[in-house]
Each structure stands twice: as structure tokens, then as C-alpha cells.
Structure 1
Amino acid sequence: MNYVKAIFLICLLFHVGSTASAQNITVDPTVTPEVLVKNILINSSCLSIENINASGNPTPGKQSYASFTAGSNFPFSNGLVLSTSASKNAEGPYNQATSIGERILSWNGDQDLNIALGTTTSTQATVLEFDFTPSTNSISFNYFFASNEYQSFYPCSYSDGFAFLIKEVGTSEPYKNLAVLPNSTIAVSATTVHPKINSIIVEGTPKPGCEANNENYFKGYNSPSSPINYAGQTVVMNASTDVVPNKKYHLKLVVADDLTRNFPSAVFIEGGSFLSKINFGKDRTFASDNPVCFGENFVLDTKLNAADYTFKWYVKDASNNYVLISGATTSTYAVITPGTYKVEATLNSASCTATGEISVEFTQEIKSSNTSIVQCDDNTDGITIFNLTKVENIVKNNVSQITNQGYYETLSNAINKTNLILNPKNYINKSPNQIVYARIENAYGCFAIPQITLNISNYVIPDQAPFETCDGDEKQDGLYQFDLNQEVTSKIMAGLPSGLVVNYYLTANDALTETNPLPNIFKNTIPNSQTIYVRAVNGPDCYDIAPVELIIHTFDPPNFEDETLYLCKGEQMTLSVATGFKTYQWSNGDTVNSTLINSAGDYKISVTDTNDCQKTKTFKVILSEPAVITGADIKDFSGIDNTVKIIYTGVGNYKFSLDGSVFQDDPTFTQVSSGIYNAVARDKNGCGISNSFSLYVLDYPRFFTPNGDGYNDLWAIQNIDQMPDYSISIFNRYGKLLKQMTQNSSGWNGIFNGQELPSDDYWFTLLFTNGKIVKGHFSLKR
């Protein structure tokens, strides 16, 4: 059983190895340059080939140019390969261990390649070159680039180079490189086509990575099962160029190593892909973003001599088959309907048939409208300022997909997009009724050119009388606001057609250009008198522009400030202002400059001047009367803290006095000495003095000196005899009663039981019959 399994496994491995080997390309380095070009590369009888040469690896038996054949998983079934090492080394599978290649110091680079790539360091160059004469106007062939530089960080810094160089024979013009990225002049290489490469560390040294570069053209990295022995490769690309029929060209295919001579590269060219074709350019379709414009005279031109060729034109039908176009036998064909077209041009003198093919689609017609702009003229000379952009939607029929590409003074300029009007919003016409041109385009550059006639309005807004108002705020500076709609527009519109819309502007130029329109509530910026401009429009058309004079009258009579007056109760008063005003109107109905009043309140007088400007003054009349003093709050027996607060009634504003001589605003008096007072109140507004009110402020002496000198010998309370009945009890510090006194007592002389009491402090209690009690103490001094 084990023996059978072993035999089966050996057979299986042999089968798998054979299958993998069969997928590798097979390289034949013995093929001559003549065979490589004429039998493998070229597949067109419309090319004349001569002067074929090749050079490469100088090592015998290791030719660096060769033919190859490949299996189904390779981009090309056959072709030729040009390598920077022995061409046989291109055979797969990929072996990273040997990918560094071989360095042959005697194998030089190529100067033409250096010039084309802008370098001086190419080495180990392989060249295949020849002359050819095409019978058509285009050549092309397919290729891809493979390299062992596609590993590690190398594409960030290193790449071998290659180029397909072409120029006309016998000229000194430089070579043109066909091995470039599509729609660019960037040469294809490992540094220009690669994915993102991360930084790595090599033998302890950091090596920086780099971002992806044209990654869409990188096919991928190869594995040990790859059909070729290279680390990575590009996608298949096409090299093509226009040529002139029957002119001789030199084509030089060259690949070379860089200065390191390490990690070889190769270019693989598809066998039979080198074709001489008729080139009509890229497809004119929506998919290619290049359809033919509606109405365009689109002619397919083979650029071949009609006498030398026989032409057949075809178009694809609904089944996707080419159908011969009857009667189309010339070198050109005018396309008027969409479709895919093909031409076959057969050279009469040889078995050469060249073909060309193109797909054509047409855009829809761009609908446009001629229109006019009617503008006003501020000085009737027929020259004014037009905003051409006002009709930008009209000329393109409001189609949002169509764009305005500018305005031009001539049709020729509009067609050629030259001498664009630079400021279309402020264009000054050159003559009355001038025509300018708008260029409108669709997304593909197709255009139409509608006309715009610049007309001058013949309508007139009648001259307007000044619009007057009064400066209605407190500051009479000649600046005040107008409600333009209410105060001005209604008068301007009188007699004009209905439907007009008006706006106002500070200057005539602003009105012409419709810039900086004024707000409806407008406050003049020039005191007293200012001219603004009204613009009336009828839809998009200007009807007329006219000046509007605004006049602001000031009215600031002297001595007209509000007043406050006082009216004594029961009296009358005359209120008056100056004479000479146009009208007077009092709030109580009087219409002269004065009025007689007998009650308090606010009285207003409004006067007008000759401009009917109004000014209002308010008299605030306040009632006043003499006060009536009804009592007093007295704080006495407190020394310097004695106070008196006068109690009164009355609606006036008063000053108060305790002696009728010195008055104060506050009815409360402080630090009042003991004594008898007659309080009065005086009306500040002149309405008289109050009744007199008698009051007493009492206090006791803080000491007495009973030494018989006739001064301060008795302790008694001054003016207490004017008060209701009372009794006074005097005590020593121990509370012993020493003396009692009443209204009939003259005072205490400091004697108790016939004996003079010593100097000391003594206490008293004052008791009024109304229940008020005052206690205190005093000193006896001897």
C-alpha cells in the first residue's frame, strides 16, 4: 500500500511540475534582428522596413534581445523581449535569489536613451532599431515593462530605463519617446509606476518609503510561479504616434540598466502588434467626453492620396456588424449621424490595406435666443453703462446645464474666444443700438452665439418738485429719514405706466449700474438738501433715471425747552410762548400764544413755522400751598442728641425753621439745645409761610456748683415749669432719697437735713403725670 502511494505522489508531483513549467515563457535568443522585426514585430503590409540593426550583451551566447512564446496566462502569446541581461534569463519562474543579475562592465549604455530620460548614467543597453516608411498616418504597438527593481524600497530611488524613440530620417530634430504614460510625457519606469512602499530597515539602516505613483498602471508583484523571472511588471500599454504617409522614420527600441548594473529589467513587445493604421483620433463619444457638436461639419479624413488608394467606408448596424456605405469611395467621409465608422484603404500598387475606426456621437442642439437690453442714458448721448449679465439666463433659455462663457464685441471674437469683454457688468457701449455677442457652451465645449442688442430707453420720468420734510428728531442738524415708498414713490408713479418698479441710489452711476440701492427708510447723508436718483424699470428694461431732491427743514425756536411751574392753591397763572409763529395749538384748545390756567397739570403748546414744521413745548404745572404744622416729635433730655421733627401737612415743597430765621430742607433738626421754640415752614415755590407752632426742648444740667457765688448754685431743669405736673426725686449713689421737687420748687442747693452734701454723683427720677419717666445723673462740685 505504501509503495502504491509513493508511486502516485511521484506521478502527481511530476504532473504539477510539468504543468507549471509549461506556463513559463520560452525565449529564443538565436533569432536574428531581421526576423525579430519583419516576422515577429511587424504585422502590416503597409510598412516598408529597412536598415535593421541590434546590439546588446557582448558576452557570447548570452544575447540580450530575443523572441518569446508564452502560454495562455501571459499577456502576449508571442513577441520579442529586450533585456539588460541575457535574454534567456527572462524565462520564469521568478527567482528572487538570483534577481540581482550580472554586472558586465564592458557593456555600455546608450546616449540617445540618456538624452530622452534626462540622465547620463545608463549602462548595459540593448537596442533594436530600424527605418520604416508608412503608407498611413499612424503606427502603434503593445508592450509592458518588467523589472527586478520592483522589490524592497528600490522604486523609491532606483530604476532601469527604456524608451521607444522615433524621428524622421534625415532630420536633426530630437527623438520623441513613445514609451510614456498615457496623455503625458512621463517615461514609464519603476520609479514612475509603483504602489505605496513602506519604510524598512536594511542591515540596521533605515530606508525611507514613498507614496504610490501612477499605481493604476502597475499590474503587480510576481511570485515564484510567475511565467517570467522578474519581481514585478506594469499593465499592458500602447505606444502610438501620428506619422506622415510615405515619409521615412527611424525607430529605436532601447532598454538599459542604471549605474548600479544590478537588478535587470526587460521590455516585452507583443508580436504582430506593430501596425500601420489610419488614425482618426480618439472616439468622439460622450463616454470619452468628446462628442461631436450638433451642426458641426465633422469629416473623417484618412490624409491619404486619393489617387493611390481605393477606399471603402463602413458603419455598424444594430447587430454590431459593419455594413458598407454605398457611394462612399473617397479619402474623406462627412459624418452626419451617430455610429461606429470604419475605413479600408487599399494601396493600388501593393497588397496593403490599412484600416481606421472611430465611434461618433452628437450632442443635442444648444437652444439660444437673441435678446436686447434697454438701459437708461444719463446725458442723452446714446452712450451708457450696460450690465450684460442681466440676460445670461435669457440667451441660454434658462437651461442650467448650459454655461455662459463671456461676452464679445464681434462675432469673430466670440467664435475664437478672443478679446473677451472683461467687465460685462459695467460695459460702456461704443455706439447706439450696438450689438454684442454672448458665447454659451455645453459641457463638451460646443457653443452657440446669440446676439444682444444694446438699446437706449426713450421714456422719461417727469421732473419732480423737491420732496420736503421737517427734521423731526431732537437734534436739529438737517438729517432725518424719509420713507421713500410712502413719501416719494407714490408721487413719482403718478401718470407713469403701472407695473414699473423703482429703486433709489446715491449717485447717477450707481443707478446706471444698479449697485448699492438705498433702503426704503433712508436718512440723508448731506444736511438740509441732498439729491438722490430714482431708477424705474419695466421688467429687465430700464425705463428712466431721474434726480430726486430731498429737502430737510430745521425748526429750533429759542427758549422753547420744557418748563416746570408752580401754581399756588386758589390762584391763576398765564402760560405763554413767543409771538411770530404760523400757528399755535394748546392742549386745552387755545390757539394763541398764551393761555390762562387755574389748576395743576401738563399743558402742551405746539407751534409751526412757515414750512409747517412743528415744535412742541410742555409746561408741567405743579400745585403748591402753605404748610400746616400739626405737631412735633421731640427727643429731649439727651444732651447733644436732642432732636425735633416737625409734623406737617401740605402739597408744597418746604423749608423748615425752629426760630423763623434759619431754614433747612429737612423737617428734622438735630443737636437741638433745650429751650422754647416757635417752628414754621416756608413754601419754596412762594406760596407763603405756615402757622407758628410752639414747642419745648428740655434738658437737665450735668453738674452744678453750690458755692454761693450766685452762679450755678441750684440744680434745676430749665423751662420745666411750662410742662404738665411732675415730680423730681434726687438720690445719692446708695439710693437714699435726698430731695423731692414739684412745679413749685426753685431747685436743689445740695443741702440735706441742713448739711452740705459732698462733691459726688447724684441720681434723679423725673415723673410726669402723663406717665413719662426720665432718669439720669449729675455731679455736685464744690
Structure 2
Amino acid sequence: MLTGLLLLSTGFVSYGQQSICHGTATSVYKVDALENGGLGTIGSVYVWTVLNTGFSGTIGYVNPPSTNQVTVNWGNTPPGTYTIQVQEKDAVSGCLGPVQQLTVDLKSAPQPNLADTVACVNPVTGVLVDPVLLNSGVPQAGNTFLWTLNNVPLSGNSNTLVATQPGNYAVTVTHTATGCSGTDTATIGVSSVAVAYAVVKEAFELYQAITVTVTQGSGDYEYQLNDGPFQSEPVFYVNKSGSYTINVRDTRGCGEVPLKVNVLNYPRYFTPNGDSYHDTWNITGLPNPEKAKITIFDRYGKVIKQISPKGRGWDGTYNGNPLPSTDYWFVLDYYEDGVQKEFKAHFSMKR
């Protein structure tokens, strides 16, 4: 025989109505707590039901095969009034005993909604460039707010928080009238613009590598050569002299930094045949070209021509007379970063 509906989750006997907050995971209910060592009447089965159609949770037995104690998982059941019903069923006759009901008032609870975000920091000091506004999404009136950073309570009782450092934030909102509360969390990660430099390896090689090295910064970076597409690898290969710009961009929106490099190279051949394509030979894109000079020799070491990188270049003649198709040598004297340098190599003339 049913002897009472005991609400174990709060530890008191309730025969009529219970109030709980929406978002409560489970409640435990028990009947005939004094029978058979707490397992209910011998030979009886208890039939449990939540009568309302809005119930979207589950009912499970605590100590099967005993059925006198259940857990009700309210799941995503919306706030409202629900009725839990239990009947004792005789195992022999199958007859159902008296109905016992408990009305459950599932009260609405605040539902704060925080969003993870990324804050931009100074790449050297790590200090936030701008504070981040966290908004609970819950009205100020009728609620109290407890904010924490990395589980440490913060001062203030506002529905928003101005965060000045990264970390794991949480807000617990409590409705002052019902006492129901809800909690949400958000992580403020960090990113930054890069501190970086670019170098060109193996000057005058046919293909030269421009390599970017990031020395400071907490971002995820991608790289762009001049106006080309961005890529994840910090290396570019070029084969033409000139000034290049590499943009280093933070993929999470904290800005980009331009880096400039100068690539030194020379033409491997020229074709002085009057078609306006490769008719002269010269080296362009040198730093301080007004200080540079190029001396051209034949294979026997005879000086053929001395030219300036700022000039028209060599047209393949000596004293106005065309020279034969063959290889010619040169010595380049130039200045880079204030240092005088010399480079020697050869090229081909093809008529």
C-alpha cells in the first residue's frame, strides 16, 4: 500500500506540490519508503507517469528490479506545471491501486548567453589593446549577477562586464523572486599582430627564397607576396630583381604588418636582334643603383663595356660592332646596407 511520496532530491516528504527550477537535471522520487527495507511492498510493481504532453524528459529506475524509486530527468522540458503520477500494481492480480500524484512547478530560470571571443593584445607586452564587453543577455532588473574569472569572483553586479584580461569567464544569474539561477561561460583567447622580419637567401640565385620569421606575437598568421594570394607558409620563391612587400596578417583579425625586401638577380641571357624583347642586358633593382657599376668581359678577360644599372644596358656591341653569340662575364660592384659588395658571374648572348 502506498505510504507516501518522498522527494529524495530535497530531503522532505511532499504530498501535494513541488517547485523546482528549470534546468534542474534530475529529481529523485520514492514511494513505500518504509516497506521491505526501502524497496517497496513485496510483490508489487509501481507504475510511474508524467501526465503532461510537454514533458520531454525520461523516467528511470534507481534500483531495478525494484520500481518504487525513480529519477526524473527533466531534460529540455519547458517551464510549466507538471503532474507526476504513481500507482501500485499487484504482481498477481494485475490490479492497479490508488493513484498518488505530485504537482511539480517547473519554474523559469535565467538563461545567460556568453560568446567565446578573441582579444587583440600587444605582441610585446601581452596587454589587451582594447577591453572586451561581455554581455549576459539577461535584463538587469529582477536579477543578480555573479561574474568570475578563472573561478575567482569579480566585483560588480551588472548584466555586462568589461573584461580587461584574457581567461575563462563565467556569469551566474539568479532571479531574485524565484531563486532560480543559470550559468554560462566564455573564454577570451588572445591574438596579436606579428613582430617579424624577412630575409632573402642566396642572392643572385636563379630562384631565391624569401623567408619570414615571426619573433613575437600570439596570433595565427598567413603571408602574402605583393598583391598575390595569402598562404600559410612563410616562404616565397622569386626569380626577378626588385623590391617586394610581404604582408603578415593575423587570421583572427588583429591586423597585418608589411615587410619589405630587395631581391638581387641578373638576366641569364639576352637577344639583341632588334625585336624590342631582351635587346639589351643590364641588372636592375639594385639598392643604391647610382653607386653601382657593371663591367663586362669577354672570355679572355678583355673589358668590353662598363655600364650603370640606371642606364640603358649593353646592346651586344664593341665600339659599335656586333659581337658574336657566346658567353660573357661580368663583375658587379654595388652597395647593400652600407656595405660594398662584389658579385661575379656570366650570361649568354643569343643572336
Question: Corresponding residue for 1:506?
Answer: 48
TM-score w.r.t. structure 1 length? Answer: 0.30
TM-score w.r.t. structure 2 length? Answer: 0.59
Task: State how far apart, in whole Å, the 2-side matches of 1:777 and 1:634 are.
Answer: 20
* 1:619 to 2:186 alignment: yes
Equivalent position SS for 2:265: coil
Q: Find 1:572's aligned residue among 108, 114, 131.
A: 131
Task: State how far apart, in whole Å, the 1-side matches of 2:229 and 2:276 are.
Answer: 37
Seen in structure 2, the aligned counterparts of structure 1 residues 615 and 526 have a Cα distance that, compared at 3 Å, is closer
Contact 1:599 1:623 in 2 (8 A): no
Q: Find 1:517's aligned residue among 48, 54, 67.
A: 67
Question: Corresponding residue for 2:58?
Answer: none
* 1:481 to 2:21 alignment: no
Contact 2:205 2:265 in 1 (8 A): yes
Equivalent position SS for 2:230: coil
Equivalent position SS for 2:171: strand
Q: Please list, as runs of the form range in 1=range in 2, the aligned pairs for 1:77-88 lying within 5 A after superposition.
A: none
Seen in structure 2, the aligned counterparts of structure 1 residues 779 and 617 have a Cα distance that, compared at 3 Å, is farther
Contact 2:110 2:138 in 1 (8 A): no
Aligned-pair CA distance for 1:593:
0.6
What code does the residue aligned with 1:517 have?
T
What code does the residue aligned with 1:547 have?
Q
* 1:464 to 2:16 alignment: yes
Bigger shift: residues 717-726 or 462-471: 717-726
Question: Corresponding residue for 1:547?
Answer: 101
Which gives a bigger RCO, structure 1 or 2 (Cα 8 Å, sep 6+)?
2
Question: Corresponding residue for 1:720?
Answer: 286
Task: State how far apart, in whole Å, the 2-side matches of 1:611 and 1:743 are.
Answer: 91
Task: State how far apart, in whole Å, the 2-side matches of 1:721 and 1:727 are.
Answer: 12
Matched residues, number: 293
Aligned-pair CA distance for 1:561:
5.1
Equivalent position SS for 1:466: strand
Task: State how far apart, in whole Å, the 2-side matches of 1:533 and 1:471 are.
Answer: 23
Seen in structure 2, the aligned counterparts of structure 1 residues 707 and 618 have a Cα distance that, compared at 3 Å, is same
Task: State how far apart, in whole Å, the 1-side matches of 2:76 and 2:184 are.
Answer: 28
Task: State how far apart, in whole Å, the 1-side matches of 2:288 and 2:279 are.
Answer: 22
More helix by share: 1
Q: 1:409-466, CA deviations, whole angstroms, 9 ceiling, x for partnerless residues?
A: xxxxxxxxxxxxxxxxxxxxxxxxxxxxxxxxxxxxxxxxxxxxxxxxxxxx862322
What code does the residue aligned with 1:576 have?
N
Contact 1:629 1:680 in 2 (8 A): no
Contact 1:654 1:683 in 2 (8 A): yes
Seen in structure 2, the aligned counterparts of structure 1 residues 739 and 598 have a Cα distance that, compared at 3 Å, is farther
Question: Corresponding residue for 1:781?
Answer: 350
Q: Please list, as runs of the form range in 1=range in 2, the aligned pairs for 1:78-227 lying within 5 A after superposition.
A: none
Task: State how far apart, in whole Å, the 2-side matches of 1:545 and 1:742 are.
Answer: 112
Task: State how far apart, in whole Å, the 1-side matches of 2:209 and 2:329 are.
Answer: 24
5+ long unaligned stretches in structure 2: 5-12, 41-45, 51-63, 89-97, 122-127
Task: State how far apart, in whole Å, the 2-side matches of 1:562 and 1:721 are.
Answer: 51
Contact 2:147 2:171 in 1 (8 A): yes
Q: CA RMSD in A?
A: 5.0
5+ long unaligned stretches in structure 1: 1-374, 379-460, 473-479, 509-513, 536-543
Equivalent position SS for 1:506: strand
Aligned-pair CA distance for 1:499:
8.8
Q: Please list, as runs of the form range in 1=range in 2, the aligned pairs for 1:240-319 lying within 5 A after superposition.
A: none
Aligned-pair CA distance for 1:629:
3.6
Contact 1:586 1:604 in 2 (8 A): yes
What code does the residue aligned with 1:604 have?
A
* 1:758 to 2:324 alignment: yes
Aligned-pair CA distance for 1:586:
0.8
Equivalent position SS for 1:759: coil
Task: State how far apart, in whole Å, the 1-side matches of 2:323 and 2:170 are.
Answer: 79
Question: Corresponding residue for 1:585?
Answer: 146
Seen in structure 2, the aligned counterparts of structure 1 residues 677 and 527 have a Cα distance that, compared at 3 Å, is closer
Equivalent position SS for 2:17: coil
Question: Corresponding residue for 2:55?
Answer: none
Task: State how far apart, in whole Å, the 1-side matches of 2:158 and 2:3 are.
Answer: 54
Equivalent position SS for 1:720: coil
* 1:668 to 2:213 alignment: no
Aligned-pair CA distance for 1:696:
0.8
CA radius of gyration, larger in:
1
Q: Please list, as runs of the form range in 1=range in 2, the aligned pairs for 1:329-348 lying within 5 A after superposition.
A: none
Contact 1:631 1:647 in 2 (8 A): yes
